[in-house]
Amino acid sequence: MIKVGIVGGTGYTGVELLRLLSQHPEVELTAITSRKEAGMPVSEMFPSLRGRVDLCFTTPEDAKLTECDAVFFATPHGVAMAQAKELLAAGVKILDLAADFRLKDTAEFEKWYGMPHSCPDVLAEAVYGLAEINREAIKKARVVGLAGCYPTSVQLGFAPLLSPKSTGGKKLIDLSYLISDSKSGVSGAGRKAEVGTLMAEASDNFKAYGVKGHRHHPEIRQGLSAIAGGEEVGLTFVPHLTPMIRGIHSTLYARILPEGRDVDYQALFEKFYEGEPFVDVMPAGSTPETRSVRGSNALRIAIYRPQGGDTLVILVVEDNLVKGASGQGVQCLNLMFGLPENMGLTHIALMP
């Protein structure tokens, strides 16, 4: 059994980790931390876990995290890097749901997250946690910086068009002109009291935010560039808040170049994701819905070429708390410990 600890278990990604890991056949939950709630039974805060999780919240000092095989950080940015070296020295593998080990450029990290990076040496060895793209590197990793929720949908939506392996080295689309029009439910803002996510503010409302700049933008560009073999990528990314709890819907746009005009894009995507356990390329003409992935680790994609023109439209849906966060973390955990990638992640989406 893999002994797993969770640092910061009172937020949405934390309770989602508990839901998934408590049902994982090869995981033993050994510790979950919260300074504020230390001593409280987890099931008292989250009654959905009654009979499933019998742990109490503990302080990080009492959690004995160095005795774990793996530790998840479901914490604000900056926490994982403060504890990373001690855990690594004890042979513990780290999976961070925050941004500490996503951006390889420390100056870029400091610009967007407003803090210096305290362990650039650990950052240098960290692997970006997007399994469909970095599967082999994740298998050998000690530290995984899990992909953000929006970046997961955007990168997996564009990947088949950028990867030289998929395109045969051809330039199918204009890499300087990619657009992501993305929408997320309010749970993406975290479990905290904030005016913008109050029911009276978010319900029956729809708005864009972060239009001038969003911290996921450099992460997406970094990932897309890596997928494209290091080529620079131009991206316009506009996120929106929608009046729902869970889900991300990204509508992606790419301009087709002359060399890509005769390509069967439906077939291209189907071949690229053939055999992937969590990516579903839907039949031509489909329009994926966020409720079709709610509570599951699935990501669904549909491809359109309106009027047979030179604009390609890719529709992508995922559950931001599962495939966009905690489920992706469990997927990477499985890879890091040599387990079947879909172990503990075969949940069917909730309907209605």
Active site residues: 149
**In the numeric block, which tokens belong to residue 102?**
């996503």
Give the pairing type, strands 248-256 and 173-184: antiparallel
299 neighbors 156 (Cβ within 8 angstroms):
yes
CA dist 338 to 18, 139, 334, Å?
A: 21, 7, 6
- What residue type is 321 in one-letter code? L
145 neighbors 129 (Cβ within 8 angstroms):
yes
The torsion angle over the Cα atoms of residues 169, 173, 179 and 181, rounded to 10 degrees, is -90
CA dist 216 to 150, 159, 201, 238, 312, Å?
A: 7, 17, 24, 10, 23
Q: Could you check whether the bond before residue 352 is cis, i.e. omega within 30 degrees of 0?
A: yes
